[in-house]
Chains A and B, each alone.
Chain A
Amino acid sequence: MTPLIATTAGGPLLVLAILLPAAGVLLSLALGGRAAEKVALGLTPLGFALAWLIAMQVAAAGAPLVYAIGGLPPPLGIALRADGISAVMLLVTAIIVAAAGFYARAKFATPDGTAESRSALTFWIMLQAIWAALNLIFVGGDLFNLYVALELLTFAAVPLVCIDGRPETLAAALRYLLFALFGSICYLLGVALLYGAYGTLDISLLSQRVQPEAIVWTAAALMTAGLLAKTALFPLHLWLPPAHANAPAAASAVLSGLVVKGSFFLALRLWFYVLPALPSAAPGAVLGALGSAAAVVGSVLALRQARLKLLVAYSTVAQIGYLFLVFPLGLGAHAWSALGWGGGLMQILAHAFAKAAMFFSAGLLAEALGHDQIAGLRGAARALPLTFLTLGLGGLSLMGLPPSGGFEAKWLMLRTSAASGQWIWSLPILAGGLLAAGYVYRILAPALAEGEIELRARPQRARELIALALAMTALVLGFAPQGFFDFIEIGRPLAAMSAP
């Protein structure tokens, strides 16, 4: 047995990170009523502490944490594995889930003496389920176990889309479900082929056995196509805007900031960890081209939206596009790969925080004004200064202006495209940035103009501050020290060969 698959110190923490929110789901349903909210919010500090402990252990060991479940190592058993990027994603997820939970209390609280309500129970249970599913995706080491995680994520995310029950939200949820199911089944077919070819589904065992042969290319194509459908990469993006724009703001933030990153993360796992033996130029070029198209098309569509939440949702389509530039810029054992890898990871983080902050703000704004029509925002910035400050700071990161995480991500990607001689990828990065400036301007310009506006209700200061804190985090990411980039290198195959 390879030493890779023996349980390491700190390994049991990985099981806890998954089972804590999963136990929360079961407890919330069993107790019902007000308990769901208490359980979900009560778990957030514990979940954050676990993610922090895992990150500390990974940093201390300088190597991935491993846990063989039941003491039964792969290939017969299932292993969990946390490397640098797993630990970072666990932390980000814990923070954004907690922010969404506290932000959502205003809407989904069940006060003393009131009966259990449909929307509240659904929201709190599904929030925890998304958390459990994402944590498993980040630390899962077995491709079939990761399929179960993908399905958990789907079943948790879809009901959030139609939580308010209007017909158009039901249609959006149904479309989302069908796309997601199609994605999972494509992924599963690829898993079946890989097992048929190599007799294991453990990521590290597979990476040692995989050869560039027809069955592997077929499996890789199927799994990638499925994950693209779930990540809403152009041209499979049609389901995303109505789904993300129609959910309640707290759910939209989680769906746009985190859930689409789950399937993207698996695409990273697949190409960087399972298939490093495959030649990377052609798949990198295809994924990069689709990502570039998404960055441009998504931004253009965002420019044309009349509703703020739809604009923010289309901006997600565009920002997902940038993520896929990590494939041409980070795959392979080149001197510049680590730079592109860092840029891709920074883009995940910057977008997660910025987008969650913007959806929170869009929700506050819609509650205060009674609508979210961009045409009706004249003068709103004076009435809601904090909310618009958050939208502006989030927008700064989306545009990629310094100092922000979005800038850092794009700067790293631009440097990589120069260093690798792949100049072509700098075009969509620059064009997308300009277009993003256009749609952020569309929100801010009327709001900053003189005008009379009537507020239906003033948003709670605490909720405004939650959104602002996330936007500030997106900004601070731009100052990430070198230690951060060393940390996300931990456990990356080929990392040693491509150290800059």
Chain B
Amino acid sequence: MSVLPILDVGLAFLVVGLAAWTVAARNLFASVVGYVAYGLLLALVWIRLYAPDVALTEAAVGGGVTGVLLITAGKRLGALEKDEAGATPALALKIVAGALALFVAGALAWVVVTLPDPAPTLAPAAAAAADGPGAGLGNPITAVLISYRSFDTMLEKVVLILAVIGVWSVGADSAWGAAPAPLGRPQPAGAMVLLAQILAPIGALIGVHIFWVGADAPGGAFQGGALLAAMWMAAMMARLTEPPRIDARWLRLALVAGPAVFLVIGFAGLGLAGDFFAFPPAFAKPLILFIETFMVLSIAVALPLLVAGPPNGRSAR
């Protein structure tokens, strides 16, 4: 057995162990910490599955942004938890839930191990299509996301926007229009400020780079946007900047920019290339990069807003 398989087995055990810890931990906050560590480790699993694009996404979103979201929530709820400690589930429920979970996991494991061989795949079609409508895109995942499954990608950005409005909508009526509560403590630690001052500009540059190379190499609009979002969040946590008012015009426009530009170019496709969401071959790559630029903007704005929560305080207009 070579070194890599041993590492793989170790990694799998670690990931599953952290998942078990997340479920079994007695304390709410311990469970949250377990989950965040789990999210970061998952990125490694994705690298081992030859999925660098997914690994980047998982690290930025599953590990980074989700981590901030959950740890903030866990801290705020930790104080409440003691009042509800009395509600321990009954043994019968434990047995039923355990049996059901075991059955589902067993069936799934069996089916996954016995997947058909050779596996059906669209990889040849996607590779051949490099000369087609995804022309000039060296990264087949970007071609799939923006060209072949453009409808998924565009509507998923609408999902993101609905989630932002949903988060805003749980706020108080009197706060509507105001900014969400600050992300960081009133006096952030000096190290945090220093880190954010150094990290944010570098991270932002890397984010732009990841987006830009995403057409040909691993990366793309989502990964780049997520990294930019993380940098903005770091700056807010260090109180270098504050969350914006939710009625700010620039904010609303930045949020809708990605899907709106996608939609407009998608409509234009009917005239330019004969079909909705078709790109004229000569302009495919610049058009795709143009759409992605606005996607990056929308993602970079939406993710921090989802973490920042509903508007807070009173709306002074």
Contacts and interface: CB of A to CB of B under 8 A. Distances in A.
A and B from one complex: yes
B221 to A, nearest CB: 17
B65 to A, nearest CB: 18
Given A29-B252, A32-B252, A78-B149, A129 B162 contact: yes
A78 B89 CA distance: 45
A452 interface: no
Given A30-B253, A71-B273, A215-B114, A129 B263 contact: no
Contacts of B317: 115
B256 A70 contact: no
B133 A165 contact: no
Interface in A193-223: 193, 196-200, 214-215, 218
A70 B155 contact: no
A25 interface: yes
Interface string B124-149: 01100100010000000000100111
Contacts of B176: 115-118
A67 B278 CA distance: 12
B108 A189 contact: yes
A218 B270 CA distance: 40
Given A115-B317, A152-B158, A165-B170, A145 B152 contact: yes
A280 interface: no
Contacts of B169: 118-119, 122, 159, 162-163
B172 A165 contact: yes
Contacts of B125: 75-76
B238 to A, nearest CB: 29
A29 to B, nearest CB: 6
B151 A145 contact: yes
A290 to B, nearest CB: 17
B173 to A, nearest CB: 5
Interface string A146-175: 001101100110110011010000100000
B277 A75 contact: no
B6 interface: no
Interface string B157-199: 0110111011011111100110000000000000000000000
A72 interface: yes
B25 to A, nearest CB: 19
A126 B162 contact: yes
B167 to A, nearest CB: 9
Contacts of B156: 148
Interface size class of A (residues with CB under 8 A): 35 or more
24 contacts: A12-B270, A19-B263, A19-B266, A22-B263, A25-B161, A29-B165, A29-B252, A70-B148, A70-B269, A75-B125, A76-B144, A115-B317, A122-B165, A125-B165, A129-B158, A156-B162, A165-B172, A189-B108, A197-B120, A199-B121, A200-B120, A214-B114, A215-B111, A218-B108
A148 B177 CA distance: 29
B259 interface: yes
B165 A159 contact: yes
A149 B152 CA distance: 9
Interface in A245-299: none
A176 B94 CA distance: 23
A246 to B, nearest CB: 14
B173 A119 contact: yes
B111 A214 contact: yes
A72 B107 CA distance: 35
A417 interface: no
B115 A197 contact: yes
Contacts of B171: 118
A26 B111 contact: no
Contacts of B152: 78, 144-145, 148
Given A69-B277, A76-B125, A155-B162, 17 more contacts: A23-B260, A25-B158, A25-B162, A26-B158, A30-B253, A30-B260, A70-B150, A76-B129, A78-B149, A117-B176, A119-B173, A129-B158, A145-B155, A152-B162, A165-B173, A199-B121, A214-B111
B278 A149 contact: no
Interface in A67-84: 67-72, 75-78
B8 interface: no
A116 B260 contact: no
The 10 closest A-B pairs by CB, nearest first: A199-B120, A71-B275, A155-B162, A70-B277, A118-B176, A122-B169, A159-B166, A26-B256, A70-B278, A15-B276
A500 B189 CA distance: 77
Contacts of A199: 119-122
A72 B148 contact: yes
A365 to B, nearest CB: 25
B5 interface: no
A121 interface: yes
A69 B152 CA distance: 11
A162 B169 CA distance: 9
B255 interface: yes
A436 to B, nearest CB: 33
A68 B151 CA distance: 11
A224 interface: no
A349 interface: no
B286 interface: no
Contacts of A158: 166
A136 interface: yes
B10 interface: no
Interface in A96-148: 115-119, 121-122, 125-126, 129, 132, 136, 144-145, 148
A132 B155 CA distance: 10
A196 B107 CA distance: 15
Interface string B250-273: 001101100110010011011001
Contact of A32 (B108, B148, B247, B278): B247
Interface in B81-119: 107-108, 110-112, 114-116, 119
Contacts of B270: 12
Contacts of B259: 22, 26
B270 to A, nearest CB: 7
Contacts of A152: 155, 158-159, 162
Nearest to B279: A70
A76 B148 contact: yes
B276 A26 contact: no
B274 to A, nearest CB: 6
- The residue among B165, B256, B269 with the most chain A CB atoms within 10 A of its own CB is B165
A78 B168 contact: no
A7 interface: yes
Contacts of B277: 15, 69-70
A67 B168 CA distance: 36
Nearest to A192: B112
Nearest to B162: A155
Interface in B39-92: none
A144 B151 CA distance: 11
A70 B253 contact: no
A22 B114 contact: no
B253 to A, nearest CB: 6
A12 B276 contact: yes
A72 B133 contact: yes
A155 B290 CA distance: 28
A155 B166 contact: yes
